[in-house]
Chain A
């Protein structure tokens, strides 16, 4: 019995055009509903969410709809003495939020409003002996943090403050038998983590550690018949992988290995034509 590959179905009445205005509205409205339970429960993601929102608004040409001075105040309020950034009040600083904060500052061209030296000091302090990075002082190590660290300091023009070769060597140690990368040595290859690893190697000038043809093929294999991309073999497609996979392929100069038209069809079908925004796959909210 040869089972077909897991995949999503695109419903008949799915959107086929890009509903840009609706997405602008969606982001503008986000967080304005006082009864939104999920919004409150995801407060640990607030800085990240703000970055995604600002980034999307900027791409759509509507960054002016974001309240720049409030954003800057929020950034300032979230940076703590050790230089790191909280996601929002009530949580401790973490590398994930620190990258998002710096990215937001770059988008608004207001790096001078945050304590850059503090950021450099904080990020440096999180690098381990073996070259990897902890997410915060409590020690979790993961390639998401490797990328956050190098991307953050690269944006500040201070990459040389880190042990860059060691960081690249740690990523190299996470290279798997299938050409992909995971969160730590031995962890399963995963498109999101491949992005963090390929990104790290690109930023640190170590892309030669990657077998681009092999990894490119692994990434191209994420595309299913529906046109959508998954994150690992035999998983359902999810629109977020459009970013992780495509960005990785772009870095490797092989983005054309994904069927663009089929991916477009899938992504457009993920839109919610009432509220704006994208669901993870067609038919979901």
Chain B
């Protein structure tokens, strides 16, 4: 009769299992001396763990002391992690046991998957998965796995981090853009997906003029669908910055600019769009010599900033006033 048989499927909210047999009552564990936690009488950290928690951890400390690394200890760590999946000591020891037993890592991957599904924002479960993949050097399940987790929470930071690590370590770039396309289709404001897009291209194709052209048009296309979208504008600007071909950069800026001006004339006042216009106007100022021309452009910058501060984006009035003032300072020569 293995330790699994002591587990019941009925669980109380505090973790007490109605059919649970304490380790201290299991005859086959009599050879292990449980080690109680030593908090002293310190009132600063008086912790009332449940009875089951205490029992499991007393025995865990017991086997850590003797250094036992057996199948029953593997199960014990599982019980300990069920009680507290954030105990990184237990995770570390579990990995030591897996190594000592030369365990079937496929089974372990399934366990890890279950733990991640139950605790998707816990750091240790994701570290564990990474450790397993580092051992097996087998990333084949990882993209589908992170996709599954992300389908439950599109922005799970751990899942994205793990996915990025897998892509970079095993060079699995080729289908990623298609995946990102799908994510952006579903949610055009998915900032994680936009970030991933930049990451993938930076590591695979690189920012050649052709790629920059393609990606700027991609971003512009999404902007046309939803103008008030921080992610697409940040991406657009990021791509332009990554472009080191001045001719291509200039050509694209012109295209975006004329689209912006047209939308502006139709009444669109998205703060991101206006910010883009202000940026290009500031860049224009660098090349203008005539004071008259300069003043015209500065006046325009000023009126856009005032509009933003007083109507379109009042919560950031101080920022827009700063932009207005610093443009004057840099190019105004006395206003």
Say yes or no: A177-B190 contact (C-beta < 8 A), given A31-B45, A138-B92. no
Q: Is A12 among interface residues, defined by CB-CB distance under 8 A?
A: no
| Segment of A113-121, A179-187, A277-285 in the binding face | A179-187
Question: Hey, which chain B residues are within 8 Å of A233, CB to CB?
Answer: 189, 191, 230-231, 234
Q: Is A155 among interface residues, defined by CB-CB distance under 8 A?
A: no
Q: Is A94 among interface residues, defined by CB-CB distance under 8 A?
A: yes
Interface size bracket, A side: 35 or more
B234 adjacent to A177 (CB under 8 Å) = yes
What's the nearest-Cβ distance from chain A to residue B259, in Å?
17
Q: With the chains together, A33 CA to B43 CA distance in Å?
A: 12
Which of B127, B191, B316 touches A220 (beta carbons < 8 Å)? B316
**Contact string, B222-243, partner A, CB cutoff 8 A, digits 1/0?**
0000111011001101110110
A92 adjacent to B195 (CB under 8 Å) = no
Q: Which residue of A lies closest to B192 (CB)?
A: A188
B39 adjacent to A187 (CB under 8 Å) = no
A234 adjacent to B316 (CB under 8 Å) = no
Which of B13, B42, B46, B202 counts the most A-chain CB atoms under 10 A from its CB? Answer: B42
Q: Is A44 among interface residues, defined by CB-CB distance under 8 A?
A: yes
Question: Hey, which chain A residues are within 8 Å of B37, CB to CB?
Answer: 89-90
**Contact string, A119-137, partner B, CB cutoff 8 A, digits 1/0?**
0000000000000000010
A40 adjacent to B189 (CB under 8 Å) = no
Question: Hey, which chain B residues are within 8 Å of A67, CB to CB?
Answer: 43-44
Q: With the chains together, A5 CA to B57 CA distance in Å?
A: 46
B47 adjacent to A88 (CB under 8 Å) = yes
Judged by DSSP, the binding face of A is loop
Q: With the chains together, A32 CA to B89 CA distance in Å?
A: 26
Using a CB-CB cutoff of 8 Å, which residues 240-273 of chain A contact chain B? Answer: 256-257, 259, 262
Question: Hey, which chain B residues are within 8 Å of A187, CB to CB?
Answer: 157, 160-161, 164, 195
Using a CB-CB cutoff of 8 Å, which residues 186-215 of chain B contact chain A? Answer: 189-192, 195-196, 198-199, 202-203
Q: With the chains together, A233 CA to B227 CA distance in Å?
A: 15
Question: Hey, which chain B residues are within 8 Å of A227, CB to CB?
Answer: 315
B13 adjacent to A37 (CB under 8 Å) = yes
Q: Is B22 among interface residues, defined by CB-CB distance under 8 A?
A: no
**Contact string, A178-222, partner B, CB cutoff 8 A, digits 1/0?**
100011101111100000000000000000000001001110110
Q: Is B173 among interface residues, defined by CB-CB distance under 8 A?
A: no
B48 adjacent to A36 (CB under 8 Å) = yes
| Segment of A13-21, A71-79, A163-171 in the binding face | A71-79
Using a CB-CB cutoff of 8 Å, which residues 288-328 of chain B contact chain A? Answer: 315-319, 322, 326
Question: Hey, which chain B residues are within 8 Å of A91, CB to CB?
Answer: 87-89
What's the nearest-Cβ distance from chain A to residue B129, in Å?
12
**Contact string, A1-30, partner B, CB cutoff 8 A, digits 1/0?**
011010000000000000000000000000
Q: With the chains together, A140 CA to B45 CA distance in Å?
A: 27
A234 adjacent to B84 (CB under 8 Å) = no
Counted as pairs of residues, one from A and one from B, with CB atoms less than 8 Å apart, the total is 151
Q: With the chains together, A92 CA to B228 CA distance in Å?
A: 47
Q: Is B263 among interface residues, defined by CB-CB distance under 8 A?
A: no
Which of A36, A39, A221 counts the most B-chain CB atoms under 10 A from its CB? Answer: A221
Q: Is A34 among interface residues, defined by CB-CB distance under 8 A?
A: yes
Which of B44, B88, B227, B317 touches A136 (beta carbons < 8 Å)? B88
Q: Is A232 among interface residues, defined by CB-CB distance under 8 A?
A: yes
B46 adjacent to A90 (CB under 8 Å) = no
B88 adjacent to A232 (CB under 8 Å) = no
Q: Is B53 among interface residues, defined by CB-CB distance under 8 A?
A: yes
Interface size bracket, B side: 35 or more
What's the nearest-Cβ distance from chain A to residue B53, in Å?
7
What's the nearest-Cβ distance from chain B to residue A101, in Å?
13
Q: Is B86 among interface residues, defined by CB-CB distance under 8 A?
A: yes
Q: With the chains together, A225 CA to B271 CA distance in Å?
A: 14
Question: Hey, which chain B residues are within 8 Å of A31, CB to CB?
Answer: 44-47
Q: With the chains together, A32 CA to B190 CA distance in Å?
A: 42
Q: Is A160 among interface residues, defined by CB-CB distance under 8 A?
A: no
Q: Is B50 among interface residues, defined by CB-CB distance under 8 A?
A: yes
Say yes or no: A92-B88 contact (C-beta < 8 A), given A40-B48, A225-B315. yes
Q: Is A235 among interface residues, defined by CB-CB distance under 8 A?
A: yes
Q: With the chains together, A213 CA to B37 CA distance in Å?
A: 51
Say yes or no: A88-B164 contact (C-beta < 8 A), given A216-B319, A223-B315. no
Q: Is B335 among interface residues, defined by CB-CB distance under 8 A?
A: no
Q: With the chains together, A221 CA to B230 CA distance in Å?
A: 9
Which of A3, A37, A178, A188 touches B189 (beta carbons < 8 Å)? A3
What's the nearest-Cβ distance from chain A to residue B46, in Å?
6
A257 adjacent to B238 (CB under 8 Å) = no
B47 adjacent to A40 (CB under 8 Å) = yes
Question: Hey, which chain A residues are within 8 Å of B88, CB to CB?
Answer: 44, 91-92, 94, 136, 138
**Contact string, B152-167, partner A, CB cutoff 8 A, digits 1/0?**
0001010011001000
A88 adjacent to B45 (CB under 8 Å) = yes
- List chain B positions with a Cβ less than 8 A from chain A: 13-15, 37-40, 42-50, 53, 57, 61, 84, 86-89, 92, 123, 127, 155, 157, 160-161, 164, 168, 189-192, 195-196, 198-199, 202-203, 226-228, 230-231, 234-235, 237-239, 241-242, 315-319, 322, 326
Give 20 A-B contacts (CB < 8 Å), ordered by A residue: A2-B227, A3-B189, A5-B228, A40-B47, A41-B84, A46-B47, A73-B44, A74-B44, A89-B39, A92-B88, A94-B88, A177-B238, A177-B242, A178-B195, A186-B199, A187-B160, A188-B191, A189-B195, A234-B190, A257-B318
